[in-house]
Amino acid sequence: MSEWSYVVQKPAVRYLKRISRENQQRIVDALDGLIADPTNADVKPLKGRPELRLRVGSYRVLFRVDKDNKRFVITQIGPRGDIYK
């Protein structure tokens, strides 16, 4: 049985490196929780965009679901006010 995983794209990695270690850990923990139980995460589809969003405090993680490869593709990470622009 294959488990789900996640892949973080370059723009999201760059943003993660710029924030504090504490917030980095919160986001990584939320992504690990998403893999463990996707139904328990605060995930919503975005209107007018193909991504879903995961809420982590004041940060938002935008991602797509790749069902064929059983992975979440993390496209962007950012603060709530700027991520949707």
List residues bridging with 71 in a β-sheet. 5, 66
Give the alpha-carbon dihedral of 34, 36, 38, 41, to 10 degrees.
-50
pLDDT attached to residue 85:
83
Query: DSSP per residue over 20-64, as a string?
Result: -HHHHHHHHHHHHHHHH-GGGS-EEEPTTSS-EEEEETTEEEEEE
pLDDT attached to residue 39:
86
pTM for the model stands at 0.92
pLDDT attached to residue 38:
85
Q: How far apart are CA 54 and CA 44, in angstroms?
A: 7
pLDDT attached to residue 1:
38
- Sign of the Cα torsion 43, 63, 5, 28 reads negative
